[in-house]
């Protein structure tokens, strides 16, 4: 075993290499992915080896978070226990993407039952539908994102507490120990966090954030600076001792409310009543059946239904592509890229019209599965020709007139993802977020230094509540409502002919990335099921996608040659090259047990054995 393969830990984390237990298993992996190191993009490119795991593992967005989750598994903890530990560490070391001030969807499988724990934020009771309108026009995203106006009721902690109540094995307090230790002793600022701080001037308007992240001259703390967080350590100790309810009642909840309501330039409407009344929801997972081609097999692909649009949109993409001749083609070919992105335009048109919080929005044909019907998707696929469709419009699964207007295009941001398999084969796929990078740019703490950031999740609602004809938009803001999401935590199961046979889990995956999450996860999964790629090869592969039904075709920079670009333009596509820092995590079953993978575009890592 060579030291060079033993410690593939990033240079900025070398001092912390010893605790990174997953590093010990990198040498066992060294899977030959054949991916060359790519030019720098928004988050850089660090080649990942892939990790062979015999029984258990944690794939998370930061090595210290993966290691924290793995420590819990080693102590006999469940997948849910490990997810909680990893999430607390992510709150500390990846504060720009997720944390206790935000929300999440957690998909859990215990070998028999598949559940969704919905910890999505909710709109304050006092928030009006036109919260983001001024003089009849929508405000710009940058006008509303920083400050209290966009803060939703955080749902993460009560959701995790409920999941722990049902599936935890270790005491709640034990799960906070790795994060408390790191908050006390400090962690090195990573290149990604440093670069994002440099690009985020809005943080300089929050005194708490300035004191924590920046030097006295206003420059961000340097890469490798050991950053302690006494304020967050204090919060973690309180939560460990008193439970999640301590976040929603009492002094900490009041501090959150005060930071939102008393913001100097952009106050919000969050109240103590909103905090106290928040409740997570346990939902049934949504699944669709699909025939993979390499190897040929039928699989069940499962995830989160509304208020997330992820699983439904992935299901529509797969269902339409199944009717296209390019199904077995090269994913980098003009034909496949054309077919996929035309299907995506049609799917995103449906998404914009139909999907919202199911407590407020009625499903078409009274059943969300109507959007995944084989006959409906065959009809939608028939609209795809050799040239770009002039205008992609929503369909009608039940031939009735839609009760809603399409949501106008808005930008979606941020997020993080954790995939876990525990020693009993139980699994968690959790996508977690504070929405935009650094959320609402508000830091909350019981002390003078450090703390955690609040979400800006209300910007995921449509800024415009109705169209010009007065028809309501399904994803309009309403009191107590959960905003539509693109989060797409997935699990894939082998289909078995007998219902008495339990279906083995094959793939556990997810990604951050706003609306592009749908493409990152769908394309990586397609590569595994139809191209014969292992998880690491699939995560390395180039990205493409659309974020609006009639917008440009987005292609990852430096990944497609001019022949391909010109071929797409000849078919009528407006091509836009851009960075796509996806941040995928995946764990895939293989003949040795499990195979973990982390996206080379971010700092993700897999720890396990």
231-262 burial: b if 16+ Cβ within 10 Å, else e = bbbbbbebbbeebbebbbeeebbeebbebbee
CA 322, 326, 329: angle at the middle one, nearest 5?
120
220 — phi, psi (to 5°)? Answer: -70, 150
Sign of CA dihedral 556, 562, 568, 569: positive
State how far Cα 20 lies from the chain centre. 24
Q: Could you tell me where the beta strands, DSSP code E, fall in 18-147?
A: 51-53, 57-60, 103-109, 114-118, 133-134, 137-138
Collapsing DSSP states into helix, strand and coil, what is residue 401? Answer: coil
Cis amide linkage into residue 155, ω under 30° from 0: no
- Which long-range contacts (C-beta less than 8 Å, at least 24 apart) are formed by 372-378? 372/288, 372/312, 372/315, 372/316, 372/319, 373/397, 374/319, 377/316, 377/319, 377/320, 377/322, 377/323, 378/319, 378/323
Please state, in angstroms and as integers, the Cα–Cα distance from residue 382 to each residue in 338, 406, 504, 509, following that order: 14, 22, 34, 30
Collapsing DSSP states into helix, strand and coil, what is residue 528? Answer: helix
Catalytically active residues, by annotation: 415
* Count of helices and strands (H, E) across the chain: 19, 23
Residue 3: closest CA among 36, 26, 35, 22: 26
Q: CA 375 to CA 397: how far, in whole Å? A: 9
């Amino acid at each position: 075993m060579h030291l060079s393969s033993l410690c593939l830990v990033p240079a900025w984390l070398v001092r912390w290499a010893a605790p990174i237990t997953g590093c010990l298993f990198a040498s066992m992996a060294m899977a030959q992915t054949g991916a060359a190191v790519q030019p720098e993009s928004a988050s850089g490119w660090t080649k990942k080896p892939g990790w062979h795991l015999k029984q258990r593992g944690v794939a998370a967005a930061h090595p210290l978070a993966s290691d924290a989750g793995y420590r819990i598994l080693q102590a006999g903890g469940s997948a849910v226990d490990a997810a909680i530990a990893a999430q607390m560490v992510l709150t500390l070391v990846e504060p720009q993407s997720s944390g206790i001030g935000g929300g999440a969807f957690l998909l859990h499988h215990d070998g028999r039952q598949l559940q969704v724990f919905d910890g999505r934020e909710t709109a304050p009771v006092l928030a009006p539908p036109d919260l983001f309108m001024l003089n009849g026009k929508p405000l710009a995203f940058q006008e509303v994102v920083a400050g209290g106006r966009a803060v939703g009721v955080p749902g993460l902690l009560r959701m995790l507490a409920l999941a722990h109540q049902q599936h935890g094995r270790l005491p709640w307090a034990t799960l906070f120990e790795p994060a408390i230790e790191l908050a006390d002793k400090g962690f090195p600022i990573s290149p990604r966090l440093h670069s994002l701080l440099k690009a985020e001037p809005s943080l300089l308007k929050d005194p708490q954030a300035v004191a924590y992240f920046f030097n006295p001259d206003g420059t961000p703390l340097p890469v490798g600076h050991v950053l302690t967080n006494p304020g967050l350590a204090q919060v973690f100790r309180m939560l460990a001792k008193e439970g999640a309810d301590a976040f929603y009642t009492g002094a900490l909840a009041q501090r959150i409310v005060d930071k939102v309501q008393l913001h100097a330039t952009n106050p919000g409407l969050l109240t103590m009543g909103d905090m106290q009344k928040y409740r997570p929801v346990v939902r049934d997972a949504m699944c669709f059946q699909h025939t993979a081609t390499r190897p040929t097999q039928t699989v069940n692909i499962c995830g989160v239904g509304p208020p997330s649009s992820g699983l439904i949109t992935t299901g529509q993409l797969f269902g339409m592509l199944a009717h296209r001749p390019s199904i077995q083609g090269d994913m980098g070919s003009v034909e496949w890229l054309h077919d996929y992105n035309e299907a995506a335009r049609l799917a995103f048109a449906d998404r914009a019209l139909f999907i919202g919080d199911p407590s407020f929005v009625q499903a078409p044909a009274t059943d969300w599965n109507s959007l995944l019907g084989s006959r409906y998707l065959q009809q939608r696929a028939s609209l795809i020709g050799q040239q770009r469709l002039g205008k992609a419009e929503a369909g009608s699964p039940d031939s009735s007139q839609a009760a809603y207007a399409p949501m106008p295009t808005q930008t979606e941001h941020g997020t993080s993802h954790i995939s876990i398999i525990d020693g009993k084969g139980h699994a968690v796929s959790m996508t977690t977020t504070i929405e935009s990078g650094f959320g609402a740019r508000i830091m909350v703490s019981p002390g003078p230094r450090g703390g955690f950031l609040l979400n800006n999740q209300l910007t995921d609602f449509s800024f415009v509540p109705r169209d010009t004809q007065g028809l309501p938009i399904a994803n309009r803001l309403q009191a107590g409502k959960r905003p539509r999401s693109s989060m797409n935590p997935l699990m894939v199961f082998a289909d078995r002919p007998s219902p008495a046979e339990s279906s083995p889990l094959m793939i556990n995956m997810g990604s951050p990335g706003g609306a592009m999450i749908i493409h990152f996860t769908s394309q990586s999964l397609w590569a595994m099921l139809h191209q014969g790629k292992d998880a690491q090869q699939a995560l390395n592969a180039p990205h493409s996608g659309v974020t609006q039904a009639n917008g440009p075709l987005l292609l990852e920079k430096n990944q497609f040659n001019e022949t391909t670009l010109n071929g797409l333009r000849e078919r009528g596509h407006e091509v836009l090259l851009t960075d796509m820092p996806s941040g995928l995590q995946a764990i895939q079953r293989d003949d040795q047990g499990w195979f973990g993978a982390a996206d080379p575009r971010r700092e993700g890592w897999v720890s396990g054995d």
